[in-house]
Amino acid sequence: MAVKLHLKSDFVQAVGAQHAVFMVGYSNRFKHPKPLIEKRFKESGASMYRSNYHGAIKIDFLKDKPIQINAWRHAKPSYWQDEYTSKY
């Protein structure tokens, strides 16, 4: 049984997410995240990370400090990349 889930814009606003992390699998056969979901998080002001653009995404939860998010392709660009560029 297939279950279709989506995030309504009022839910996204109520949660008040500061960050959205999308883990995009190899070949992404289900085409996640859907453009509408990305749009809702973008409109909410959340910073967005996608594993297919940012590589490995490390999230540190430190006591008495804000969440720290590091994207591998930003922190350790390959030698052939002059500058990290991102869609987000």
Q: Is residue 43 part of a domain?
A: yes
Question: 11 lies in a domain?
Answer: no
> Across the chain, what does the average pLDDT equal?
83
- Is 3 a member of any domain? no
pLDDT the model gives residue 70: 93
Show the tokens assigned to 61: 């939860």
Let me know if residue 12 belongs to a domain. Answer: no
Q: Flag whether 83 is in a domain.
A: no
For residue 13, is it within any domain? no
Provide the domain count of the chain. 1
Q: How confident is the model at residue 1 (pLDDT cuts 50, 70, 90)?
A: very low
Structural domain that includes position 64: 18-75
In a domain? residue 64: yes
